[in-house]
């Protein structure tokens, strides 16, 4: 999968899954825009990793929850790097995956759901709104949204997080239906628990071990495991795929 000449925007790419995705695109020759919220040092490290992998990269700070900030980011990327060919919506509202301390339904407020919805769907909405004029003009483009296998198999009831990710799947499929005739594809990648990341560092070892025991491939995903399926869906190899959800969880969920 070669991406020479392609400009890729990855949101939430300063660390974890986003950084792994950005570096994988760079390794295949892409020019990558590394979106991040606040951690300049981490974003710089991702840029360095992309350059070491053989691609080019540029860090761009923006809160994807802000429509004006996202529009300014997309305009800056287009000026600096060229029109955006591929978008990976990976940014989400901070969340700690800790089964021992999860909030039970009776203790949740609607504002908890709204915050996660704004982070997952709101961020993707703002980015897609800003990028799509470029893609429509050239009648091509690929969007990959990061969701979760919890939508299919809520092994732990993270109510607000999983509901928001389920909404992002619906958002993606509606967009895929509308944009397909224009040559723009929209798909999702649904990882299981990915370790280590900032979000999963609170997940206790006993739970990780039980999850590995239930997983046919007998391990938990690393950030790099998510990158391959994202690149596949963004590539010409998946040129006749849209509206799909690829589960990346070692076979825990089979569809």
Give the active site residues: 161
Phi/psi for 32 (5° steps) reads -115, 130
**Contacts of residue 204, Cβ cutoff 8 Å, sequence gap at least 6:** 98, 99, 100
141-146 and 184-191 as β-strands: parallel, antiparallel, unpaired? parallel
Radius of gyration for the chain, computed over Cα atoms and rounded to the nearest angstrom:
17
Query: By the 8 A CB rule, do 88 and 8 touch?
Result: yes
In b/e form, how buried is each residue of 133-162, taking b as 16+ CB within 10 angstroms?
ebbeeeeebbbbbbbbbbbbbebbebbbbb
User: Taking each helix axis from N to C terminus, what angle separates 159-179 and 123-138, rounded to the nearest 10 degrees?
Assistant: 20
């Amino acid at each position: 999968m070669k991406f020479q000449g392609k400009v890729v925007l990855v949101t939430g790419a300063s660390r974890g899954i986003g950084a792994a995705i950005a570096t994988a695109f760079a390794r295949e020759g892409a020019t990558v825009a590394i979106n991040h919220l606040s951690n300049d040092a981490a974003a710089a490290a991702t840029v360095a990793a992309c350059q070491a992998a053989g691609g080019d990269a540029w860090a761009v700070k923006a809160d994807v929850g802000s429509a004006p900030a996202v529009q300014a980011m997309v305009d800056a990327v287009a000026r600096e790097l060229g029109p955006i060919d591929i978008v990976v919506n990976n940014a989400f509202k901070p969340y700690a995956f800790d089964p021992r301390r999860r909030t039970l339904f009776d203790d949740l407020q609607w504002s908890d759901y709204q915050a996660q919805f704004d982070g997952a769907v709101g961020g993707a909405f703002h980015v897609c709104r800003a990028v799509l004029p470029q893609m429509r003009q050239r009648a091509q483009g690929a969007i990959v949204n990061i969701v979760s296998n919890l939508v299919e198999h809520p092994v732990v009831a993270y109510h607000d997080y999983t509901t928001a990710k389920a909404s992002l799947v619906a958002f993606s499929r509606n967009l895929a239906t509308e944009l397909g005739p224009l040559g723009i594809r929209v798909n999702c990648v649904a990882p299981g628990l990915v370790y280590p990341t900032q979000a999963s560092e609170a997940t206790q070892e006993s739970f990780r071990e039980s999850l590995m025991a239930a997983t046919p491939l007998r391990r938990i995903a690393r950030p790099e495991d998510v990158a391959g399926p994202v690149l596949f869906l963004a590539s010409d190899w998946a040129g006749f795929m849209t509206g799909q959800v690829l589960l990346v969880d070692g076979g825990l969920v089979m569809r």
